[in-house]
Amino acid sequence: MEKVGIGIVGCGNISGAYLTAMRGFPILDIRGVADLNADLARARAAEFAVPVQDLDALFADPNVQIIVNLTVPKAHVAVGLRALEAGKHTYSEKPLGITFAEGSRLARAAAAKGLRIGAAPDTFLGGGQQTVRAIVDAGEIGAPVGGTANFMNPGHESWHPNPDFYYEPGGGPMLDMGPYYITALVNLLGPVAEVAGFAAMPRATRTITSQPRSGQTIPVHVATHVAGTLRFATGALVQVAMSFDVPGHKHPPIELYGTEGAIQVPDPNRFGGPVEVLRTGGAWQERPIDLPYADGNFRSLGVADMAHALRSDRPHRASGDLALHVLEVMEAFQTASDQRRVVAITTLTDRPAPLAQSVDRGQLAR
């Protein structure tokens, strides 16, 4: 197998999960990690026994084909543009950009250079979400009619050591957690046609309770409670709630309703299950998950699929088109709230192909 050279920019919290998972994908050849904080980059390189490079050297490295961009959201597009200018494909942590205009700029630059862009989340490729996709595609719940999608918690300042960016532009529950939910829904139901919604910011400040900054107060610059409805191109209607202002709730992450039944979808921030199906007139039954990538944290699965796609000259699934569509949908909630109107979505995207089409004996194949 001809490996694909990977350069990682950004060595913060999420980089550990990526570097751990990348060990399980033989096609990925980590050529270096880099960060504006050189000490952080050196520490990550030592922890995972991978090379460290400064940023200039990494972007110029001829052995790097894909830059994996794990910086904070407000830097995603700037780093992506630099990667494209260096002739590299780029795969970004979510969201693709902090505004739809920014994300569109990145997409245009990639198209102009004939390079690929991709973006997290890739959890929709996990065995749990792919099992639901197979059930929906088989028509077991009939034609999708509607659904609910809920992420609600008290906020991230109780656990993250530096939670400031969650409350800055590019953060908030919609742009932070929304990518998992909206991407999962698009994978299952297809593209979104219209968005209606409201957004609120109940508190202007937050107090950190995690270490090492417990007791510090940080400002809030984004909506922290967002609710609304998605109308998909198929006509299905899904109610969405994303919040950093809810102390607790009992809603499942995602539930879909069809003309012949209903299905409970696993947490889209995870790769596994459980999956439960109810047929009209029957009872809820848990379904086994026999598809791969359901029993661990496989962050970088999307990068590996992109690498295989480069070698096989096929589309990659966690694509720029998908990420841009999701970004437009997420931004539309705030627009709908500010302008008190239903927002029409301008981007179109095909549902990604089921992962099973590229899996051989439980592993990604050429």
> What's the token pair of residue 321?
């088109």
pLDDT 10s digits, 113-137: 999 999 999 999 999 999 999 999 9
> What's the token pair of residue 204?
């202007």
pLDDT 10s digits, 61-92: 999 999 999 999 999 999 999 999 999 999 99
Say if CB 34 and CB 53 are below 8 A apart: yes
pLDDT at 140 over 90: yes
pLDDT at 305 over 70: yes
The pLDDT value recorded for residue 196 is 98
The pLDDT value recorded for residue 271 is 98
Domain range 126-287, CATH architecture: 2-Layer Sandwich (3.30)
CATH 3.30.360.10 segments of the chain: 126-287
State the distance between the two ends of the chain, measured CA to CA, in whole angstroms.
8
The pLDDT value recorded for residue 357 is 86
pLDDT at 1 over 80: no
The pLDDT value recorded for residue 203 is 97
Tell me, letter by letter, the H, E, C secondary structure of the chain: CCCEEEEEECCCCCHHHHHHHHCCCCCEEEEEEECCCHHHHHHHHHHHCCCECCHHHHHHCCCCCEEEECCCHHHHHHHHHHHHHCCCEEEECCCCCCCHHHHHHHHHHHHHHCCCEEECCCHHHCHHHHHHHHHHHCCCCCCEEEEEEEEECCCCCCCCCCHHHHHCCCCHHHHHHHHHHHHHHHHHHCCEEEEEEEEECCCCEEECCCCCCCCCEEECCCCCEEEEEEEECCCCEEEEEEECCCCCCCCCCEEEEECCEEEEECCCCCCCCCEEEEECCCCCEEECCCCCCCCCCCCCHHHHHHHHHHHHCCCCCCEHHHHHHHHHHHHHHHHHHHHCCCEECCCCCCCCCCHHHHEECCEECC
Confidence of residue 170 (pLDDT cuts 50, 70, 90): confident
The pLDDT value recorded for residue 158 is 94
Q: What percent of the chain has pLDDT over 70?
A: 100
Mean pLDDT of the chain: 97
The pLDDT value recorded for residue 366 is 66
Bridge partners of 237, per DSSP, are 146, 231
The pLDDT value recorded for residue 285 is 98
* Integer Cα distance of 61 and 109 in angstroms: 20
CATH 3.40.50.720 segments of the chain: 4-119
The pLDDT value recorded for residue 361 is 78
pLDDT at 279 over 70: yes
Say if CB 275 and CB 266 are below 8 A apart: yes
* Integer Cα distance of 343 and 49 in angstroms: 48
pLDDT 10s digits, 190-205: 999 999 999 999 999 9
Among 3.40.50.720, 3.30.9.10, 3.30.499.10, 3.40.50.150, what is the CATH number of 4-119? 3.40.50.720
